[in-house]
Amino acid sequence: MDLSLLSRLNEERAHRRAAVLVTDLQTHTQRLVFESEIARDPLSALLSDALRMGKSGVVETEGHKVFLTVQAPVLRIIAIGAVHISQALVPMAKQLGHDVIIVDPREAFASPERFPDVAVHAEWPDLVLPKLGADRYTAFLMLTHDPKIDDAALNFALKSHAFYIGALGSRKTHGKRIERLQALGFDEQAIKRIQAPIGLNIGAISPAEIALSILGEITAKLRLKPDGAKIGN
Amino acid sequence: MLATDDDLLRQAETWRREGRGVALATVVETWGSAPRPVGSHLVIDGEGTFMGSVSGGCVEGAVVTEALDVIESGTPKILEFGVADETAWKVGLSCGGRISVYVEKVN
């Protein structure tokens, strides 16, 4: 491998951008495909499946064995609400390899004592989120039950490329939320990005079960194709 | 695990920039109960110093030896290890799996 190729790969990772290194195991030729170029690549379908699974592996193409080194950024979960569900979610998310950031302007909630192992921002979402930024590998969870706080975060999240946006609350609560978002100028397509009620329907009751349902939904959104099919099916 | 393997790619780059001879070994295929998943890396320098793991310790010694050869020649190699291997008693995988490792020089 050329040092220049290796350093481009490392650079993409440092900038939280996905890339796939394609190595022909017969001819030993190598090339790096950036995420933005995958759609136009001759191996486009194979590359996008590999990236969706976040899994390196050998593929066969035109009689050649080719190894795909997949580099996908670590998922970042930004949880709005330093609440009980977030406390349960932090260790589970870490097990899954995700980074978690907690945002809650209520200082009594957003204390390091309640969240010893993660970044906690005791600030308003509209102030702190632009500083944190949000890319395609970011998930937003609105968990405060307080429209003032959740809406401020939604206003930012819906304008970002975040791959997952979930909001806690019943259908009735979400109905009112939709009205408020429409008043802010968001159209139906934008509002449909919000998973509400948040999480997979597994009958979750306890905070830990709700955290599990949210992480399950995030995993599904990450790994399944947009039509809900598993890779390879 | 993934984060660790990515860190190894950074290690490889750092070593190469320091002027060391560097080889990168990558698990490209596994069969059965292989100890380390596809995509795992071992980074080796010209002195035989290594970081990472392709088999959790079973065959690293053999991979390092081959890697020194690859650093010398510049030609990549595909190594296969498993219980069916003739050298199984020496460098086989105790778990009974089989792995294929791609070793390449960082130029």
Q: What angle do CA A95, B4, B69 make, to 5 degrees?
A: 150
Nearest residue of B to residue A95, measured between CA atoms = B1
Q: What is the ipTM of this complex?
A: 0.83
Phi, psi of A89 (to 5 degrees): -75, -35
Sort residue B52 into left (φ over 0), alpha (ψ -120 to 50) or beta. Answer: left
Distance CA B15, CA B107 (A): 11
Alpha-carbon distance B92 to nearest alpha carbon in chain A (angstroms): 22
Alpha-carbon distance B61 to nearest alpha carbon in chain A (angstroms): 22
DSSP labels for A126-141?
A: HHHHHHH---TTEEEE
How much is the mean pLDDT over chain A? 93
Phi, psi of A133 (to 5 degrees): 75, 165
* pLDDT 10s digits, B21-60: 999 999 999 988 777 889 999 999 999 999 998 887 778 8
Is B29 near chain A, with CB under 8 Å? yes
- Residue B78: strand pairing partners: B102
Distance CA A88, CA A84 (A): 6
**Which chain A positions have a beta carbon within 8 Å of B24's beta carbon?**
1, 6
Q: Tell me whether residues A7 and B105 touch, CB distance under 8 A.
A: no
* pLDDT 10s digits, A47-61: 998 988 888 999 998
The pLDDT of residue B92: 57
**Which chain A positions have a beta carbon within 8 Å of B29's beta carbon?**
57-58
pLDDT at B84 over 80: no
Mutate to test the interface with A, among B4, B30, B106 (most CBs of A within 10 A): B106
The pLDDT of residue B71: 97
**Which chain B positions have a beta carbon within 8 Å of A97's beta carbon?**
1-3
* Length of chain B measured in residues: 107
Distance CA A53, CA A94 (A): 18
Alpha-carbon distance B90 to nearest alpha carbon in chain A (angstroms): 27
Check: CB of residue A61 under 8 Å from CB of residue A25: no
pLDDT at A146 over 50: yes
Distance CA B25, CA B59 (A): 12
Is B80 near chain A, with CB under 8 Å? no
Distance CA B35, CA B78 (A): 18
**Which chain A positions have a beta carbon within 8 Å of B10's beta carbon?**
10
A3-7, A51-55, A73-77, A200-204: segment of lowest average pLDDT: A51-55
Is B90 near chain A, with CB under 8 Å? no
What is the arithmetic mean of pLDDT over A217-225?
Answer: 90
* Domains of chain A and any CATH numbers: 3-71 (no CATH), 76-223 (3.40.50.720)
Alpha-carbon distance A214 to nearest alpha carbon in chain B (angstroms): 23
Distance CA B22, CA B9 (A): 11
* pLDDT 10s digits, A18-32: 999 999 999 999 999
Residue with tokens 């970042």: A76
Sequence ranges of the domains in chain B: 2-105
b/e B11-27 (16+ beta carbons within 10 angstroms → b): bbbebbeeebbbbbbbb
The pLDDT of residue B36: 85
- Residue A166: strand pairing partners: A141, A195
pLDDT band at B3 (very low <50, low <70, confident <90, very high): very low
The pLDDT of residue B58: 76
Is B10 near chain A, with CB under 8 Å? yes
A31-45, A125-139, A148-162, A216-230: segment of lowest average pLDDT: A216-230
Is B30 near chain A, with CB under 8 Å? no
Q: Tell me whether residues A2 and B12 touch, CB distance under 8 A.
A: no
Distance CA A175, CA A63 (A): 54
The shortest CB-CB distance from A3 to any of B13, B75, B76 is to B13
pLDDT at A110 over 70: yes
